[in-house]
Amino acid sequence: MKLSGREVARYFARPEPGRAGLLLYGGDAMRVALKRQEVIARLLGPNAEEEMRLTRMMAAELRGDPAALSDAIKARGFFPGPRVVFLEDATDSLADTIATALADWTGDDAQLVVTAKQLPPRSALRKLFEGHSNAYAIGIYDDPPGRDEIEAMLAGAGLRPPEREAMAALTDLAQGLDPGDFRQTVEKLALYKLNDPAPLTAEDIAACAPASIEGGADALIQVVAEGRHREIGPLLRRLQAQGVTPVTLCITATRHFRILHAAASDPDGVASGVARLRPPLNFKARDRVVRQAQSLGQRKIEQALSLLIDTDLTLRSAQRAPQMAVIERSLIRLAMLSGRRS
């Protein structure tokens, strides 16, 4: 059976132990691996490795010994409890071998968890799991985790539900980080809040967020906000070579201009608006934001945010324009707007 949408979220929150098998496939190996770890941990509970209730197999092992998969699924261990056979990097060439193992499966056997790279709809492996009455197939895509997934990660790490601003900061962070780095950030937050029962705050997120994602992108956005459009090209090429994505740059720019908007729209003036920002800025950053917000003014900042929203929608759509060219054009337009006198 094929799972999608809310069915996937429900399954990952509570995997079903009575199923014969599960296929996880996707183009991002890290995302697939993290979901596989999550599923197996929830199926088997703690100490599965020590109690030998988890058997790991590589696809290459089965080419010379196809019966090894069925043998592993049927094998009985010394310790009671659910068992899983994990088959990594499967391809369509193993579809018949896996089909045989699933056909012989009984309720006393180990559940089979299979991972694979991106599979087209015509894939024999996908068809096998999607057409099976007691097995699931789930595609793992490159979309950043949504609110439900983030809340599940936090709960799994023993963290209380965050404040609204903290959840917004985590959502932005999840969009800019790869899955492994985001999970490490959640684990760091769990250690940071180990003896603190209070909910997560935006200050906590700022304290634990990796600096690497901010540095180069933030430097570029400062150039944009100050209207130095001639410096954008070289900085953008450098960030592109480092693997920074256009979506990350758009998110970083939007976050910065939202800060400027909060400062510029404060009824008591820009300086008061900056002083009220949460999390608070350091002294140097505070002075820079005051200068930028005063120079731009509320109307231009709102125009910039409108442009960034349109750019974000374009980057996430099915358009064929090169994404780096799209973000470069938008950043230059922002810089020209910033450098233009009202």
Cis amide prior to 279 (ω within 30 degrees): yes
- pLDDT at position 231 over 90: no
Going by pLDDT thresholds of 50, 70 and 90, the confidence category of residue 200 is: confident
Query: Do 175 and 125 belong to one domain?
Result: no
Of 153-167, 206-220, 232-246, 249-263, least confident by mean pLDDT is: 206-220
pLDDT tens-digit map of 29-41:
888 988 999 899 9
* 269, 274, 276, 277: CA torsion to nearest 10: 140
Mean pLDDT, all residues of the chain: 86
Query: Do 109 and 185 belong to one domain?
Result: no
Q: CB neighbours (10 Å) of residue 204?
A: 22
Query: Do 273 and 190 belong to one domain?
Result: no
Terminal CA-to-CA distance of the chain, rounded, Å? 60
Query: Do 71 and 116 belong to one domain?
Result: yes
**Strands 84-88, 111-116: pairing kind:** parallel
List the domain range (segments joined by +) for residue 64.
Answer: 6-139
Examine residue 261 and state whether it is found in any structural domain, yes or no: yes
pLDDT at 96: 95
pLDDT tens-digit map of 270-326:
888 788 777 677 667 788 888 888 888 889 999 999 999 989 888 877 666 788 889
Last residue of a domain, one of 90, 107, 139: 139
pLDDT at 340: 61
Query: Do 122 and 203 belong to one domain?
Result: no
pLDDT at 318: 65
How many domains does the chain contain in total?
A: 3
What CATH number has the domain bearing residue 244? 1.20.272.10
Contacts of 310 (CB under 8 A, 6+ apart): none
CB-based contacts of 312-315 (< 8 A; 24+ apart in sequence): 312/247, 312/250, 312/251, 312/254, 315/246, 315/247, 315/250
- pLDDT at position 252 over 90: no
Q: Six-digit token pair at 75?
A: 């094998």
Which whole number is the average pLDDT over 141-162? 82
What CATH number has the domain bearing residue 117? 3.40.50.300
Sheet strand arrangement including 84-88:
54-58, 84-88, 111-116, 21-25, 135-139
Query: Do 116 and 152 belong to one domain?
Result: no
Of 3-12, 53-62, 178-187, least confident by mean pLDDT is: 178-187
pLDDT tens-digit map of 43-79:
998 888 888 999 999 998 898 898 999 999 999 878 8
Question: Max CA-CA distance within the chain?
Answer: 77
Which whole number is the average pLDDT over 118-132? 95
- pLDDT at position 102 over 90: yes
Query: Do 192 and 222 belong to one domain?
Result: no
Q: CB neighbours (10 Å) of residue 186?
A: 19
pTM of the model: 0.56
pLDDT at 211: 56
pLDDT at 342: 46
Last residue of a domain, one of 192, 208, 224: 208
Examine residue 118 and state whether it is found in any structural domain, yes or no: yes
Higher pLDDT, 251 or 317: 251
Q: CB neighbours (10 Å) of residue 206?
A: 16
Which whole number is the average pLDDT over 6-13? 85
Examine residue 1 and state whether it is found in any structural domain, yes or no: no
pLDDT at 160: 85
CA 157 vs CA 78, 143, 244, 267: distances in Å: 30, 22, 28, 40
Which whole number is the average pLDDT over 106-111? 94
- pLDDT at position 168 over 90: no
Which whole number is the average pLDDT over 176-188? 78
Q: Percent of the chain beyond pLDDT 90?
A: 35
Of 52-61, 161-170, 186-195, least confident by mean pLDDT is: 161-170
Going by pLDDT thresholds of 50, 70 and 90, the confidence category of residue 215 is: low
